[in-house]
Amino acid sequence: MYLGPEDEKILSGEKGETRQRMMELLVALGKVFGAEQLVGIKSAQVSGASYKTIGEYGLAWLSSLDACAVVPAILNPIGMPREQWQEMGIDPGFAAKQQEVVSAYERLGVKLECTCTPYYLYKTSFGDHLAWSESSAVSFSNSVIGAQTNRE
């Protein structure tokens, strides 16, 4: 897969270990799908936000990352409301772990709106490339806006 000079620097570790690890993942996925090159995106929607989904190992991995999002990125809904979770009977142990997940994403520069409708927050245009994760947002983006995203 072709990488430009800046991407090659990232892959070689010149821009830090976390960015190197992320580029390694992107290159591996690119090889699996036969991608010729990376595609720049205008925004991302990050899934894997619920502690119930990612668990202790996912939280440990997130906590090990030391970088910041380089495109506007927003967090998908999490495993509980961020406020008033006690009123819903959410276990305090789960709530503490969920808050650790949210804090890890915040440290990485991901906006914490926790929404499945990023199109209300980001101006997108026909032909924009996006990396959104919520299936309804993907359908809206591709069908109504005319932007382009897979379900990431």
Instruction: State how far Cα 139 lies from the chain centre.
Output: 18
Over residues 30-76, the pLDDT tens digits come to 999 999 999 999 999 999 899 999 999 999 999 999 999 999 999 99
Is there a contact between 138 and 151 (Cβ–Cβ < 8 Å)? yes
Determine the pLDDT at residue 16. 94
Which tokens hold the place of 63? 């906590």
Domain boundaries, the chain: 1-38, 39-145
Q: What is the pTM of this model?
A: 0.89
Which residue(s) pair with 148 in the sheet?
Answer: 129
Which tokens hold the place of 44? 């991302």
| Cα 119 from Cα 9, distance rounded (Å) | 32
| Cα 5 from Cα 68, distance rounded (Å) | 20
Is there a contact between 44 and 152 (Cβ–Cβ < 8 Å)? yes
